[in-house]
């Protein structure tokens, strides 16, 4: 068992241009591969276990079509000037069409260099989302794209690294939109209706992300006022909403974030990555036997069937 050496990771980050406790530009590739726990890492630990998180760090998997489209939406909306250097839009929807094949052949060099080919319908979706974000929705004519995303006071796709000295760990975030301490994350979704979206947010761990981002900014002495989402639908008419989380929800989620950070810090500093059954912190061993109960709905059904009273 090797004791975690945080100084080694700090030196690696600094040697690669990372300045702690200030907003910096780093590539997605560097950010995801660099030392430190991110919000997505915490969500993985919460949904599965530390062992799954640790295993996934060293495994490269092919992106699903949904993830590819999500990345394309981010690039098109947040970093439009760089979009054409990373994505190509086909004149056809079907990969078996002559037009699609001809397009791929004509751009084989760009594709070999890493460009991703999107279908025509994906390109239409990107244009539709951008048009939706440019629609005015206030009496003053302010719209989400001009008034928030490309506002002169907005920083886009900036990373922040800080050190949690109490836990001896490195924390990191990369914020889509930072408008003077109001953090907004761009999310493509089936429904931008706030009530529907927040149900999905609860299931997908978006609250962990919100509390974590604000916690890190505050720890790094950076402006941190609120957290929300720019929720955009992926189908016409591409409705969108800007949804802010309440302070009450943030505080509730912060308790979970701190618990997950404690769990991650224990695993990292002891080099022990355990499964869903947990671990005895004294013996540092996973339990051999686990007593568990059937789901409550199943037990209630049996009790009714057997007229059980107790």
C-alpha to C-alpha distance for 87 and 68, rounded to whole angstroms: 10
Q: Please say if the pLDDT value at position 221 is more than 90.
A: yes
Residues 144 and 138 sit within 8 Å (Cβ to Cβ): no
- Confidence label for 111 from pLDDT (cuts 50, 70 and 90): confident
Using DSSP's 3-state secondary structure scheme, residue 184 falls into strand
> Which stretch of 39-53, 105-119, 166-180 has the lowest confidence by average pLDDT?
105-119
Number of residues that this document lists for the chain: 310
39-62 in b/e form (b: 16+ CB < 10 A) is bebbbbbbeebbbebbeeeeeeee
User: Is-contact 214 224, C-beta < 8 A?
Assistant: yes
CB atoms within 10 A of CB 252: 12
Confidence at residue 195, expressed as pLDDT on a 0 to 100 scale: 95
DSSP state of 145: I
Band (pLDDT 50/70/90 cuts) for residue 58 is low
Read off the pLDDT of each residue in 109-130 and give the average, rounded to a whole number: 92
Residues 6+ apart with CB under 8 A from 14: 20
Are the beta carbons of 18 and 182 closer than 8 angstroms?
Answer: no
The interaxial angle of helices 247-270 and 39-47, nearest 10 deg, is 80
pLDDT of res. 36: 97
Residue 114 has pLDDT above 80, yes or no: yes
Q: What is the pLDDT of residue 309?
A: 65
Integer Cα distance of 116 and 112 in angstroms: 9
pLDDT at 310 over 60: no
Asked if pLDDT for residue 187 goes beyond 70, the answer is yes
> What is the three-class DSSP state of 228?
strand
**Distance between CA atoms of residues 101 and 105, nearest Å:** 6
CA separation for the pair 310, 304 (Å, rounded): 12
Which of 45, 18, 21, 42 shows the shortest CA–CA distance to 30? 18
Residue 75 — pLDDT band, cuts 50, 70, 90?
A: very high
Contact of 63 with 86, CB cutoff 8 Å: no
CA distances to 125, 215, 247, 304 from 252, in Å:
36, 13, 9, 36
Find tokens 């720019």 and name the residue: 230
Hey, what domains does the chain have and what are their CATH numbers? 58-158+176-267 (3.90.320)
pLDDT in tens, 282-297: 888 888 888 888 899 9
Predicted pLDDT at 236: 95
Q: How confident is the model at residue 141 (pLDDT cuts 50, 70, 90)?
A: confident
What is the pLDDT confidence band of residue 1, given thresholds at 50, 70 and 90? low
Residue 60, pLDDT score:
67
What value does the mean pLDDT take over residues 16-29? 96
**Mean pLDDT for the stretch of residues 224-235:** 96
- Residues of the chain with pLDDT > 90: what percent? 73
Specify the pairing of strand 87-89 against strand 226-233: unpaired
pLDDT at residue 257 greater than cutoff 90: yes
Q: Is the dihedral of CA 138, 140, 145, 151 positive or negative?
A: negative
Q: Is the pLDDT of residue 101 over 80?
A: yes
């Amino acid at each position: 068992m090797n004791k975690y050496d945080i100084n080694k990771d700090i030196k690696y980050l600094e040697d690669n241009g990372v300045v702690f406790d200030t907003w910096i530009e780093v590539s997605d590739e560097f950010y995801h591969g660099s030392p430190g726990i991110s919000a997505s890492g915490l969500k993985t630990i919460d949904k599965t276990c530390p062992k799954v998180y640790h295993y996934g760090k060293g495994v490269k998997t092919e992106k699903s079509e949904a993830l590819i489209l999500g990345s394309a939406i981010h690039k098109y909306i947040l970093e439009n000037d760089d979009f054409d250097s990373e994505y190509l839009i086909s004149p056809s929807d079907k990969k078996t069409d002559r037009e699609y094949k001809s397009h791929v052949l004509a751009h084989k060099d760009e594709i070999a260099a890493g460009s991703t080919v999107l279908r025509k319908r994906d390109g239409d979706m990107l244009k539709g989302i951008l048009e939706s974000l440019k629609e005015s929705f206030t009496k003053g004519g302010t719209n989400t794209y001009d008034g928030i995303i490309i506002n002169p006071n907005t920083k886009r796709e900036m990373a922040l690294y800080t050190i949690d000295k109490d836990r001896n760990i490195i924390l990191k975030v990369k914020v889509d939109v930072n408008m003077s301490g109001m953090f907004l994350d761009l999310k493509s979704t089936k429904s931008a209706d706030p009530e529907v979206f927040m149900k999905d947010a609860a299931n997908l761990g978006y609250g962990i992300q919100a509390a974590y981002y604000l916690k890190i900014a505050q720890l790094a002495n950076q402006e941190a006022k609120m957290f929300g989402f720019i929720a955009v639908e992926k189908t016409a008419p591409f409705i969108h909403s800007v949804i802010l989380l309440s302070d009450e929800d943030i505080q509730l989620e912060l308790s979970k974030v701190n618990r997950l950070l404690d769990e991650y810090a224990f695993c990292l500093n002891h080099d022990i990555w355990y499964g869903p059954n947990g671990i005895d912190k004294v013996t540092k061993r996973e339990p051999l036997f686990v007593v568990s109960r059937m789901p409550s709905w199943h037990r209630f059904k049996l009790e009714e069937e057997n007229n059980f009273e107790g």
